[in-house]
Every structure is written in structure tokens, then in C-alpha cells.
């Protein structure tokens, strides 16, 4: 649809959208491309931090996917990183059509400082968050399960009822966890899903 540098240039705040966020090397664009079966939809790069705008993609069946700027790794000036952080926080807390956040973390390095910052921003907005532990094909089953349990424990400490926070393993390469992710997105983007009432 469009690419916006800040919330003020975003499309009309109506309907329903789900945003994807994560560190610049977490495999965010690859996950979006795998999900949509379109290898050229979200731009991938071997240089982390290429996504510097809020990118909106319209779905044929209604709703939108939003590719947020990667954070925490890009080799850009500190002032630009601060600007990205400000726009990300503003988008998460003020965007009324935002139904949920998919937060991607490399399964080998979960819960980094920037990931925790994103979780806190989402918590302040009462926003549902589903964590994708990406690149799960790079770990054997045991270590992958151990990493997921570690993240799940942290989420339960943050949200004892686990009403807003959830986690799964995912691999774009092997398409592992794709059905689970699709089911969640269909739920979040459906008309009968209760949107968070107040994200101010």
C-alpha cells in the first residue's frame, strides 16, 4: 500500500492490521514473505536494518500486515535510532486499528534489551503480542523447546493469565510453525475479534 516514516503518514486508521517487529537480523521480512507466499513482498537483505519505514501491505481478504523498522542492529547514527524508537512506540500505543503485534526473535538469542522494550511498549497499550522464535531450524528439537520454555516463563511472569502474550517456534526456511501463525492471524484479523479498547 504505502511506506510511512511516522504515524502521521500512515494510511487511514480504520479496519484491522497486525504489525511485525523484531531486531534487524531476526528474519522479519523472510517470515512475512513465507506467510504470504510472496518471496518479493517484504525486502530482505544481508545488511540488517534495511527496513527504515513503516510498510503497509493490504490483504486480499481484508486487513493489513505492517512491516515495522528493524531495531537494535542497524549501523545508523544514534539520533536516527532514537527517532525510529520514538515512531515505533507512538505507532504501537496510538494506532487504533492495530489488533496485535508479532514480535520476532532469533531463537538462539531471545529476550534481548530491545525485545523487552517492545514488550513493555505493547503492555502499556494493552496490545496482544505473539512471539515468533525464528530460525528454529538452526537448533535441535531439545534446545529449541528449552528456548521456548524460557521465553514462555518470562511471558507468564509479565502476564500471569497469559491473555495477551504467547510464543511459538518458527522457521521460514522449513515453514515450521506456519499453520499456527496463520491461525492466529486469521483470528486477530477477523471481525469478531475483540480489539483492545484503549491504546492511548
User: Domains (ranges, CATH) in the chain?
Assistant: 2-188 (3.40.50.300)
Residue 10 in this model has a pLDDT that exceeds 80: yes
Average pLDDT, the chain: 86
Mean pLDDT of 37-56: 68
Grid-cell match 514462555, residue found: 152
CB 107 within 8 A of CB 133: yes
**pLDDT digits 0-9 by tens, 112-140:** 988 998 898 888 889 999 999 999 999 99
Residue 198: the pLDDT is: 46
Distance CA 21, CA 132 (A): 10
Distance CA 29, CA 70 (A): 10
Lowest mean pLDDT among 130-139, 144-153, 190-199: 190-199
pTM (predicted TM-score): 0.88
CB 65 within 8 A of CB 159: no
Residue 38: the pLDDT is: 86
Instruction: Give the 3-state secondary structure of residue 93.
Output: helix
Compare 196 and 109 and report the one with higher pLDDT.
Answer: 109
How is the beta sheet containing 129-134 ordered, strand by strand?
2-4, 54-58, 64-67, 17-22, 98-106, 129-134, 165-169
Instruction: Give the 3-state secondary structure of residue 71.
Output: strand
pLDDT band at 35 (very low <50, low <70, confident <90, very high): very high
The percent of residues above 70 in pLDDT, for the chain, comes to 86
Residue 78: the pLDDT is: 79
Amino acid at each position: 500500500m504505502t511506506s510511512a516514516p511516522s504515524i502521521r503518514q500512515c494510511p487511514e486508521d480504520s479496519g484491522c492490521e497486525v504489525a511485525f517487529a523484531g531486531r534487524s537480523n531476526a528474519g522479519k521480512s523472510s517470515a512475512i514473505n513465507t506467510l504470504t507466499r510472496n518471496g518479493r513482498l517484504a525486502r530482505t537483505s544481508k545488511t540488517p536494518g534495511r527496513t527504515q519505514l513503516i510498510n503497509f501491505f493490504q490483504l486480499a481478504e481484508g486487513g493489513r500486515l505492517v512491516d515495522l523498522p528493524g531495531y537494535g542492529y542497524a549501523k545508523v547514527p544514534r539520533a536516527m535510532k532514537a527517532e525510529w524508537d520514538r515512531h515505533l512506540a507512538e505507532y504501537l500505543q496510538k494506532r487504533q486499528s492495530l489488533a496485535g503485534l508479532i514480535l520476532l526473535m532469533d531463537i538462539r538469542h531471545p529476550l534481548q534489551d530491545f525485545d523487552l522494550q517492545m514488550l513493555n511498549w505493547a503492555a502499556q497499550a494493552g496490545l496482544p503480542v505473539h512471539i515468533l522464535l525464528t530460525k528454529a531450524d538452526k537448533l535441535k528439537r531439545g534446545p529449541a523447546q528449552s528456548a521456548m520454555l524460557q521465553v514462555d516463563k518470562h511471558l507468564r511472569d509479565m502476564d500471569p493469565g497469559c491473555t495477551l502474550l504467547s510464543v511459538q517456534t518458527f522457521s521460514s526456511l522449513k515453514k515450521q510453525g506456519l499453520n499456527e501463525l496463520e491461525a492466529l492471524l486469521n483470528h486477530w484479523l477477523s471481525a469478531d475479534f475483540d480489539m483492545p479498547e484503549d491504546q492511548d
